[in-house]
Amino acid sequence: EDQVTQSPEALRLQEGESSSLNCSYTVSGLRGLFWYRQDPGKGPEFLFTLYSAGEEKEKERLKATLTKKESFLHITAPKPEDSATYLCAVYNAGNNRKLIWGLGTSLAVNP
Amino acid sequence: DTGVSQNPRHKITKRGQNVTFRCDPISEHNRLYWYRQTLGQGPEFLTYFQNEAQLEKSRLLSDRFSAERPKGSFSTLEIQRTEQGDSAMYLCASSPHLSLNTGELFFGEGSRLTVL
């Protein structure tokens, strides 16, 4: 069964303390892996798309990487405004109409 | 504002009542999706439209749920005979792409339903 697992469920960091969030997946024929950010009471906001192992994307303090089994979202020197839930989703060849979502990692960055 | 708009933002209703949510997608976006999300969970797919055609509906979705997208513009999601388990955030998303290759969905801010 296609599955997306995110860890940790929650992470608390001090401002400036770099860390990584993990998204592991088991899907057949991965077509894309996506990262979204979600603020409380809001809809998810698209961050990145990764298509193949070895690919990396960056945006400000965030960098997403992809291997054949997992993706990491690296947060460098985070700020309090980076506090949010980060969601991972995948799209595979046999399911071209909807994304398979993880449960998310809730990140809190303390000033 | 040209983003995805959802109304109402909050709805409190009594069990057994019907509720309807509206979504206005970004203009000219072909695809429109409805998701449901509860606290601590990722979005759960409900249904999606390509223009006015409803192409897929989740098998987990009760027949109390119905969605329409007349004329391929705005969409409505109706829940009949609401139950307490229907309490959730209902999210609408749209995309200009004919496939999910880019994964880029534009979400609205959601409609939060509380069933008493």
Average pLDDT for chain B = 91
**Which of B45, B91, B100 lies nearest to residue A43, judging by beta carbons?**
B91
> Rounded to whole angstroms, how far apart are CA atoms A97 and A79?
35
**Which of B41, B48, B103 lies nearest to residue A49, judging by beta carbons?**
B103
Q: 3-class DSSP state for residue B84?
A: helix
Tally A–B CB contacts below 8 A: 69
A55-59, B2-6, B56-60: least confident range: B56-60
Write out B63-80 in H/E/C secondary structure: CCEEEECHHHCCEEEEEC
Q: Give the gap in angstroms from C-alpha A83 to the nearest C-alpha of chain B.
A: 15
Tell me the percentage of chain B whose pLDDT exceeds 90.
71
pLDDT at B102: 66
Best probe of the A interface among B100, B109, B111, by most A CBs < 10 A, is B100
User: Are the beta carbons of A96 and B100 separated by less than 8 Å?
Assistant: yes
User: Are the beta carbons of A104 and B42 separated by less than 8 Å?
Assistant: yes
